Structure 1
Amino acid sequence: MAVSVPSADPGPTRPARHGAFHALTVAAVERLTDDSVALTLAVPPELREEYRHAPGQHLTLRRTGSEGGGVRRTYSICSPAPTVEGPGPVALRVGVRLVEGGEFSTFAHKEIAAGDVLDVMVPAGRFVLDPAAAPAAAHYAAVVGGSGITPVLSIAASLLAARPDARFCLVRSDRSAASTMFLDDVADLKDRYPDRFQLVTVLSREEQEAGLPSGRLDQARLTALLPALLPVAEVTGWFLCGPYGLVQGAERALGELGVARTRVHEEIFHVEDTAPQTPAPSAAPSRVRVTARLDGRSGTWPVQEGESLLDAVLRGRADAPYACKGGVCGTCRVFLVGGEVRMDRNFALEAEETDAGFVLACQSHAVSEEVEIDFDR
């Protein structure tokens, strides 16, 4: 995917982003399932405005005191967002599912206890819903798989609490009842908003006594199922979150049902091992330099052969924001000010973002000898 500078500027500069971490204390560790836990992080009064978040945003966690940047992992905030008029959050809650061979998730499950301290980046992410901006009598829907419930739990809870006229339909897919994260939290939403919160659960590996038959939620099944559940054409916005296959199947199903792509929001939590979407260029320019603006300061650094723009910047600015380095989380999103780059993979940016000139620094390789990027947009 080759990207050049767009002809139009994307608009006003955003508030500066940065990769700084703050030390937060773990207030509680709650076992959700055999392979998932919820971590509650206490936010001290002096940091509450910095950790004010929109429904659906995520946190990047790092082991305190780890060297060389440490192991970073991104987890969505599942607790409701604070209101615009109210104070920042007293605590933040995230869900961590154990991943085979996952260094941080194993650490979270086996070692983290209440009272421990973690390095936590301020909230980020654009998979969000602003309840105040929702139209009157808004009707939103979500299709999630596995741990994809975490940001949608915050989105649904925040919307329904802030807007008494809003409705939300949640279609969730899990392997079995025992593996279902935040079962009690979702049930609480159903009890609190029985007329405005619709819940549909599908188990892929276990039959239910009532409800839908077991099986995967693929494109064909969703194309048939969604119109039977709700008036698809009247839904204000769709939120798709979970494994790559489920999100892509849901996107195609909605397209087949005539839903405009602008009403569909996606966040991918897991991408199966695949080759890059577009091969990197076979040869890089002989003398490549990248100029990057971060927190109002600019610097220029050489780019080594085969190196991503992010890695080149990190050699000069260790505070550059990143998390997964796999093209999934979007933490390293930058605006391409000048030059041409090629992205290997992109599972985080919407088409409107790439059209406006945004790229993922972790997946971008220079095609031109001079490249300029801006983390502060």
Structure 2
Amino acid sequence: MFHPLRVSAVEQLTDDAVAITFAIPPELRETFRHTPGQHVALRRIVGGAEIRRTYSICTAAAGATEQPVVRVGVRLVEGGEFSTYALKELSVGDTVEVMEPMGRFSFEPRPGRFVAIVGGSGITPVLSIAATLLAREPDARFCLIRSDRTAASTMFLDEVADLKDRWPDRFQLVTALSREEQQSGLPSGRLDEERLTGLLPELLPVADVDGWFLCGPFGLVQGAERALHGLGVARTRIHQEIFHVDDGTSTATAPTGPASAAAPAHSTLTATLDGRSGTWPVRDGDSLLETVLRSRSDAPYACKGGVCGTCRAFLVSGEVRMDRNYALEPEETEAGYVLACQSHPLAPEVELDFDR
């Protein structure tokens, strides 16, 4: 569900990025009390067309008696309708429709050693995770390994510096710049699989890390994941969220589903959402999400690109083909979950449950 929230602050982070803070009225405080790592979807209507974009919350999670703060970082995307609006037009006092916090790249603080490898705006949810963990768990340690193009393009510099100042013994920061040399720290260059494989054992005891958080462009996340697997890290300790995917650059875009199955000539979809069920014909070429949206405008989605996971649903019956999947973990797909925005029927009748 979307709620109209007033913009209480717009802060320039870099030449191409801003932080937007929303005022949360008393009646919505519990609704917007987020878990570290979650995101919100923002909605805008332009020329009668709906635009939705997903942005992670960068602030620490509020305690039970604290006022929740919803602040997101928005980086300008070339040709991006919402990011252009956010950087060039959005002002304090404006109202934006904001969906309730959601997402599975989330973390409940606990004692232990944790590491994040992030690129660009991938710092946003990790900032919330690190700030919450360090404030709540005195026996926790956090190492942030971040990659950016240049120092000038690095988001949330002050916020990360504050973490280092407040918890110098428990927060470790390692910065790599791909297009600029630093006076100290790592040499210039990308954090790819080969570099991380050699770097990580020098920085910390890899086997003793309780959780790894990978967030940013697909190439960085994929390279970091391969490096960790090569170093013997169990898949269950790795959590990832993709912020950007270049079409056609990865085998992860390959469709998933029965290899020999062909789409039926006619198919119907039954879907349950918020306790209500309906059955509709699937038009040729339409995804299952598009089928539901024709009759249920409240169907959950944000990116429609297989990245955010907002449209996750349980496949009750039938078979589907997913064109892309950058959001669901292998355990989720094995349990029967699919991304409705990327799913097409491979059976005459398919049933989804968005409530599970």
Under TM normalisation by the shorter chain, which class is it?
over 0.9
Does residue 254 of structure 2 align to residue 277 of structure 1? yes
Does residue 314 of structure 2 align to residue 335 of structure 1? yes
**SS at 1:287's partner residue?**
coil
Aligned to 2:97: 119
Aligned to 2:52: 72
Does residue 287 of structure 2 align to residue 313 of structure 1? no
Shift of 1:70: 1.1
Does residue 343 of structure 2 align to residue 359 of structure 1? no
The letter for the 1-side match of 2:73 is G
Query: How far apart, in 2, do the equivalents of 1:163 and 1:177 lie?
Result: 30
Aligned to 2:304: 325
Shift of 1:278: 2.0
Shift of 1:286: 2.2
Bigger relative contact order, structure 1 or 2, given CA contacts below 8 A and separation 6+? Answer: 1
**SS at 2:184's partner residue?**
coil
Shift of 1:235: 0.2
Q: Deviations over 1:177-212 (max 9, x none)?
A: 000000000000000000000000000000000111
Does residue 281 of structure 2 align to residue 302 of structure 1? yes
Query: How far apart, in 1, do the equivalents of 2:352 and 2:23 lie?
Result: 35
Shift of 1:284: 2.6
Does residue 162 of structure 2 align to residue 188 of structure 1? yes
Q: Structure 2 matches for 1:1-377, cutoff 5 A?
A: 20-63=1-44, 66=46, 70-83=50-63, 85-87=64-66, 89=68, 91-131=69-109, 134=110, 136=111, 138-274=112-248, 276-278=253-255, 284-377=263-356
The letter for the 2-side match of 1:243 is P
Q: Deviations over 1:140-186 (max 9, x none)?
A: 00000000000000000000001011000000000000000000000
Q: Contact between 1:240 and 1:250, CA under 8 Å: does it hold in 2?
A: yes
Structure 2: runs of 5+ lacking an equivalent: none
Aligned residues: 351
Shift of 1:287: 2.2
Query: How far apart, in 1, do the equivalents of 2:49 and 2:303 lie?
Result: 12
After superposition, the CA RMSD in angstroms is: 1.4
Q: Contact between 1:49 and 1:87, CA under 8 Å: does it hold in 2?
A: no
Query: How far apart, in 1, do the equivalents of 2:269 and 2:296 lie?
Result: 12
With structure 2 as the length reference, what TM-score do the two structures score? 0.96
